[in-house]
Amino acid sequence: MHSKVVIIGSGPAAHTAAVYLARAELKPVLYEGFLANGIAAGGQLTTTTDVENYPGFPDGIGGSELMDAMRKQSERFGTQIITETIAKVDLSKRPFKYWAEYEEDKEPHTADAIIIATGASARRLGLQGEEKYWQNGISACAVCDGAVPIFRNKPLVVIGGGDSAAEEAMFLTKYGSHVIVLVRRDVLRASKTMAKRLLANKKVTVMFNTVGHEVKGDDKGLMSHMVVKDVKTGKLETLEANGLFYAVGHDPATALVKGQIDTDEEGYIVTKPGTSYTNIEGVFAAGDVQDKRYRQAITSAGSGCIAALEAEKFIAEQDAEVENNLEQEKNAEKGNNVVVPEYRSNPLL
């Protein structure tokens, strides 16, 4: 199967790109994956209960509900959605080749342009009680979930020692009664300025040489306590905490294009600033797979729009170039009075 443009991904970036490309009548094909990277189609939002900061939903909306709506909108305009995971791509020349999972030994599908919107996943720590209280007290995004009622005026915990952890902890002081930051080492990895601000905040307590050990909850199924461990003495301590926020990094889903597309030291796809352009002409990147700073549904959707508009422009330019070359060939034949060989006009061939 050949397509003008293929989208790999299933989150806000992928579906926004699909809507724009479908309305431009480019008949996009979107591969949403089957539990790609261990996450259901729809991406990280499917692991979120209430989304309160996406425009247009004054009462909030469930993460899965929001992604279902985006998927329906993509289909409404004619996007072909395939629930298969892309296992391999060849971006060495156009048309680009790609293979679905379990079909690597078959003939490849091809595309004139590809949008990579495979996202990123928050690193988890595998603490006792993590699975039970995920999204019932445990989150990997303070900006996304910090204002949720279960965290307001409650003691909260942040795990991490870098700039992101410091930023999230200070953000959470707007909502929580107090924020405890657990740092494995005896020093913060955050920049001096950020570390100074964090340590000076009266609503923050930093516990050095300390890691998370277990998450406990109440009879309502919500997190209520956090057991922490001193890495030097091995001593366990139980803290009252109604929220736990991981700030230990994300893993971009770039294994598919590793070695073909330029990535930074953390594995994120490198794009030309302000665009979705990668180092390969005709390949575009959108969403969290190329954004390690904001990582919001709305910014992902915006970058999906950018990728679609740039892919549309690229395809239009390629089509115009082909038409121009054909026109030049026709004019050259006419100018040279070329006699068309009989086999070229034979209806039997």
Query: Are the beta carbons of 192 and 168 closer than 8 angstroms?
Result: no
User: Which residue, 269, 313, 305, is CA-closest to 116?
Assistant: 269
**Residue among 50, 112, 145, 291 flagged as catalytic:** 145
* Active-site annotation holds for 305: no
CB atoms closer than 10 angstroms to residue 322: 10
Q: Is the peptide bond prior to 95 cis by the omega test (within 30 degrees of 0)?
A: yes
**Residue among 141, 230, 251, 305 flagged as catalytic:** 141
Phi, psi of 302 (to 5 degrees): -60, -40
* Residue with the two structure tokens 């309160």: 52
Q: How far apart are CA 1 and CA 19, in angstroms?
A: 21
**Residue among 50, 112, 144, 288 flagged as catalytic:** 144
User: Which residue, 140, 199, 138, 143, is CA-closest to 171?
Assistant: 143
* Active-site annotation holds for 145: yes
* Active-site annotation holds for 144: yes
Query: Are the beta carbons of 12 and 43 closer than 8 angstroms?
Result: yes
Strand order in the sheet with 210-217: 210-217, 223-230, 236-240
104: exposed, middle or buried (Cβ count in 10 Å: 0-12, 13-18, 19+):
exposed
Query: Are the beta carbons of 256 and 89 closer than 8 angstroms?
Result: yes
CB atoms closer than 10 angstroms to residue 285: 30
* Residue with the two structure tokens 């091809």: 110
Query: Are the beta carbons of 157 and 180 closer than 8 angstroms?
Result: yes
Q: Which residues are catalytic?
A: 141, 144-145
